Amino acid sequence: MGEGRTRLCATVTAETTSELRARRDAQEGADLVELRLDGVADPDVGGALADRRLPVVATCRPTWEGGAFAGSEAERRRILLEACRLGAENVDVEQRAGFADEVLAARGGRGVVLSFHDFDGVPADLEARYRSMRATGAEVVKIAAAAGSLTESLRVARLGSDDEPRVLIGMGVAGIPSRVLAGRFGSCWTYAGDGIAPGQIDLVRMREQFRFREISEGTAVYGVLGSPIGHSLSPAMHNAGFRAHGIDAVYLPLEAADVEDFLAFADAVGLRGASVTAPFKEAIGPHVAEQDAIGNAIGAVNTVRPLAGGGWEGLNTDVPGLLAPLTGRMALAGARATVLGSGGVARAAAFALRGAGADVTVCARRPERAAAVADVAPGTRTAPLPPRPASWDLLVNTTPLGTWPAAGRSPLPDGPFDGRLVYDLVYNPPETRLMADAARAGCDTIGGLDMLVAQAVRQFAWWTGETPSADRFRQAAEHDLARQAQGVSGAAAQPA
């Protein structure tokens, strides 16, 4: 089952059969529903299947394979064989279950999903295991393994051939491409919903943000390279831009083990462009054949695209993105600006502010790192943390301190807040402790979402030739922040 026939399977869990049925029937936009009977206190298989509108996958996953069922194997066997007898369209049984052969025999293999899950990593015998599972006669083979890298995710997703019904998933954030691009890789369905598996995406986000049903072999793939990256608001912004401009493209979070892992993945999927965030803004440099003047000057780029003849071209949109929110808020020429941090964004900040005529000081925990930042902007000074009282007019935080879920932290828990404007590049939460403390002391504040949107607009235009609406990008980002705050995503955000 290849591209174009890949379905969305909504996973639903509940504590009671009646709740499971209600949730089953509420999955708007799903093609089929996985009924997780393992979480139901007293599962009634007939009740769970009754009056269903969509085909189902009946699953009763044991604790020893990542599920919630802690009862006996005899009871689990009864539940799954009853699902077979009552006509569940698909029944999931683990390869390692002692009664797997009975489930296969009960259906002659038809509608049986023979599954294997490894939460520790991708097993060395992956290919051999797939072949042995295929040989059982099960209609669908499902393998889900924790992917520690993008290339490990690819190794799982590329198993099998087009005529073999299969569901192949790299679990974890690094495995998200295997879920969103499931049709490209040939899976017959991909799971969405309750997020009970690492990296699983909710159904609405799969349909609306990633436009799963519109992805085809011709869809251009973009992404954001970083680690950790599950928090990123960039997919929400850029996918909103693609939709608004009618561009057949999808933008994914790409959590790579290292730059080489990213490059191998990019080559495999024909990546058309990527945003680059921590910790790769400087590390990507040696792999970029051409870059803009800003990237050359500061030794860091945050945007790449492939060159026609091979290799990569880099751009730094952090510098103009950082300056844009300051326009009209403060005259930078002659202002005393203090930059907190020593990473790629700190380099961009020092370079931008010096270029605008500010008197810049970099404060960091490690003096040698602060000196390296100062080197990219001649005339920049360094100083230890915290800044001296009455030493700044503008304070720019480029560190991740204060990022959700550690929103109570601050790079300056004790101030001083005796300047004019505090610009915190953390964007989640929208108001950080640093900003709140500064506002109470009488400072003006700017949050990180302003810069995030400004630099993303420039990235999109560089890749596509289209200038997106900054308001649309902001709305998409704010919507995704609200989603994360509701607990749909458990990942954190930092300056990107």
What pLDDT, on the 0 to 100 scale, is given for residue 5? 78
Distance CA 472, CA 236 (A): 10
Q: Write down the residue that tokens 């203090």 correspond to.
A: 338
3-class DSSP state for residue 102? helix
Q: Given 281, 347, 433, 458, which residue is catalytic?
A: 281
Q: Which domains does the chain have, with CATH numbers?
A: 7-216 (3.20.20.70), 223-317+453-485 (3.40.50.10860), 320-451 (3.40.50.720)
What rounded mean pLDDT belongs to the chain? 95
Distance CA 337, CA 101 (A): 70
Q: What is the DSSP letter of 387?
A: P
Tally the residues of the chain.
Answer: 496
Cα separations in angstroms, 272 against 222, 383, 460: 6, 41, 12
Distance CA 187, CA 5 (A): 9
Smallest CA-to-CA distance from 256 within 344, 171, 122, 148 is with: 148
Distance CA 47, CA 301 (A): 56
3-class DSSP state for residue 318? helix
For 479, other C-beta atoms within 10 Å of its C-beta total 15
Sign of the CA dihedral 375, 381, 383, 389?
A: negative
What pLDDT, on the 0 to 100 scale, is given for residue 196? 75
For 59, other C-beta atoms within 10 Å of its C-beta total 27
Per-residue confidence at 88, pLDDT binned at 50, 70, 90? very high
3-class DSSP state for residue 447? coil
**Residues in contact with 17: Cβ distance below 8 Å, sequence separation at least 6, in sequence order:** 40, 42, 43, 44, 47, 48
What pLDDT, on the 0 to 100 scale, is given for residue 47? 98
Give tens-digit pLDDT for 319-374.
Answer: 999 999 999 999 999 999 999 999 989 999 999 999 999 999 999 999 999 999 99
Give tens-digit pLDDT for 369-427.
Answer: 999 999 999 999 999 999 999 999 999 999 999 998 899 999 999 999 999 999 999 99
Distance CA 350, CA 353 (A): 5
Q: Assess contact for 115 and 144: CB atoms under 8 A.
A: yes
- Asked whether residue 434 carries a pLDDT value surpassing 70, the answer given is yes
3-class DSSP state for residue 402? coil
What pLDDT, on the 0 to 100 scale, is given for residue 491? 36
Distance CA 327, CA 456 (A): 17
What pLDDT, on the 0 to 100 scale, is given for residue 495? 34
Q: Assess contact for 322 and 351: CB atoms under 8 A.
A: no
Output helix, strand, coil percentages for the chain, rounded to the nearest 5. Answer: 35, 20, 45
Instruction: Answer yes or no: 281 catalytic.
Output: yes
Per-residue confidence at 492, pLDDT binned at 50, 70, 90? very low
Alpha helices in 220-306 (DSSP H): 234-244, 259-269, 293-298
What pLDDT, on the 0 to 100 scale, is given for residue 327? 94
As a whole number of Å, the CA-based R_g of the chain is 25
Average pLDDT over residues 232-243: 98
Average pLDDT over residues 20-48: 97
Distance CA 205, CA 211 (A): 8
